[in-house]
Amino acid sequence: MPTDSLPKQVEIWEVAPRDGFQAEETWIPTETKLEIIRELASTGLKSMEITSFVHPKAIPQLKDADEVVSQAGDLNLKLRALVPNVRGAERAINVGIKKLKLMLSATDSHSLSNANATARDAQQKLWPIADLAAKHGVSVGGSVSVAFGCPYEGKVPLERIAAILTRYQEMDVHEVSLADTTGMANPVQVSQMLRYLNQEFPEMRFSLHLHNTRGMALANAVAALQEGVLDFDSSIAGLGGCPYAPGASGNIASEDLVHAFHEMGVDTGANLERLIEVAKNVRDRIGHDGGSYMLQAGPNSALHQKPVSQSKLG
Amino acid sequence: MPTDSLPKQVEIWEVAPRDGFQAEETWIPTETKLEIIRELASTGLKSMEITSFVHPKAIPQLKDADEVVSQAGDLNLKLRALVPNVRGAERAINVGIKKLKLMLSATDSHSLSNANATARDAQQKLWPIADLAAKHGVSVGGSVSVAFGCPYEGKVPLERIAAILTRYQEMDVHEVSLADTTGMANPVQVSQMLRYLNQEFPEMRFSLHLHNTRGMALANAVAALQEGVLDFDSSIAGLGGCPYAPGASGNIASEDLVHAFHEMGVDTGANLERLIEVAKNVRDRIGHDGGSYMLQAGPNSALHQKPVSQSKLG
């Protein structure tokens, strides 16, 4: 893996304000959310999944989506928002969101659990959103949840993913995030899937949404880099747990991903030092992190003072 | 990264009885150590770094090295022991150890801190051990600590590693473990170092000793696999912290490494289910783990019961 075979620059989508906050049961005041979003905007990260326009009863934590977006509109950030239905898309477009994100599950079991519809039924419901977005000149990205493994059904056949991508293509959606929602992917699988999909869907741009549930998120990110993926989701302080594994690590932490990429010579546009500072602040505000190595050990660059002479191992 | 380009089978060296126990301040009774060693032998793992024959004052936790080895001698395990000096080598050979492991630091700062000698002086002291081993027909492996980065000096030039390997070669040592002692390696660096060393030292067999301090251990293991490395150290339950980052993750956990390798189609000879069971027992006995994903989230194979229909995201 010579450095010159990897991309020189990638885009990091910060997803804590959606995927991270959504996992918090305790109400985070709108002003705190906005403080965190403003701090994130100060790290050099330029792209953010800022909220989900979901029904307030389904996820009370995100009931302030409209206000959050309105207040964050003046920040120098590329914003996208998750929209589960037409009503959500209307709200998002109404407050000025220029990029909507759709979500489909790779399996019926996960789709039923998450969207109360089979995978096929859920797909049908997305058409009116795509039409609405087209009418307003708003761009649409897609995503495939549990693309690498489903907590109910296990491994997902590649044909299943291909079928979903075909539906997205029909909807004129050409950017799709492959989500390892419960951290079941491995690097060999990531490589094989991307090779297959890049061949079958040469006009699609794929991004990766990784969870570190089983410690493989960074290895999967590297496998994706090697296959030319240029967009990655991550979450400050690793916020965003996995509902199927309480207490386990959440989304790959932005500061861990940025640290690893920079160490490998891949630029992210972020200032790592500032990012770690913000991660600390976020952990303090929220009361915990979701598994962040930088918050435990610090970056490689934080060296210790040289010893003169002392025996430890004899 | 197609599966068929990776090795089909690797050897895992379980190092908790040395690197893990050594990091524990509270005395672990000899009988507990032996219970853990016997449980580890029941997982299908066949190779173990069982102790260090270090001066009892330097590491009191390992003062029972002789007894541990004597009692574990009847297990179906390939054993090796760390020996820091001739006295330790004599003790090890005396109780029947057939494979000694030497340790050298890549930097003077780490060598002074760890062995109270500069890297060059430390190398000179190894000669009599190599001679003694040769006399008794005992094999010797080498290792290079902080090979990928030093907590005092940062990145280590490849020439420095090459110089140490040349010394090992002169001592007739042809198996060398490259240790990322404080978790500073990244996958690009691992690839580049192995390519360089495989070219410069075609007769050396390299193994990897990885710590997960900054979350990159698995990514580094995959990079090493891709360069043909067949031997990996790991520690049950991730025992074996990093003295430079208190509270941070330790050695890569055996159960996490085995899980990842099996998911990628690389066999380890271990029974993952049994390994996770043993990791739980070890955590319970020692009172903590050192950062184990399997102990938090379980393996991919532990699926959840399928839902019928319920709405979560609306």
The pLDDT value given to residue B295: 95
* Average of per-residue pLDDT across B274-290: 96
> Which chain A positions have a beta carbon within 8 Å of B219's beta carbon?
187, 218-219, 221-222, 260
Instruction: Please state the ipTM of this predicted complex.
Output: 0.94
pLDDT one-digit tens code per residue, B27-68: 999 999 999 999 999 999 999 999 999 999 999 999 999 999
The pLDDT value given to residue B309: 54
pLDDT at B312 over 90: no
The pLDDT value given to residue B311: 45
Residue ranges of chain A whose pLDDT lies below 70:
2-4, 242, 308-314
Euclidean distance between CA atoms B185 and B113, whole angstroms? 20
The pLDDT value given to residue A7: 94
Minimal CA–CA distance to A175: which of A209, A139, A146, A151? A139
All domains of chain A, ordered by start, with CATH? 3-295 (3.20.20.70)
Residue B314 and residue A183: Cβ atoms within 8 Å? no
Sheet strands (E) in chain B: 11-14, 47-52, 78-82, 99-101, 104-105, 139-145, 175-180, 205-210, 231-234
B129 CB-near residues (< 8 Å, 6+ apart): B83, B85, B86, B89, B100, B102, B140
A23 to chain B, closest Cα gap in Å: 11
Helix ranges restricted to H, A171-253: 187-200, 217-226
B175 to chain A, closest Cα gap in Å: 22
pTM comes to 0.95
The SS3 call for residue A274 is: helix
Mutate to test the interface with A, among B304, B305, B308 (most CBs of A within 10 A): B304
Minimal CA–CA distance to B215: which of A278, A259, A73? A259
Residue A61: φ, ψ to 5°:
-55, -30
The pLDDT value given to residue A314: 36
Q: Shortest CB distance from B313 goes to which of A54, A249, A311?
A: A54
Euclidean distance between CA atoms B304 and A146, whole angstroms? 13
Active-site residue, selected from the candidate residues A242, A260, A276, A278? A242
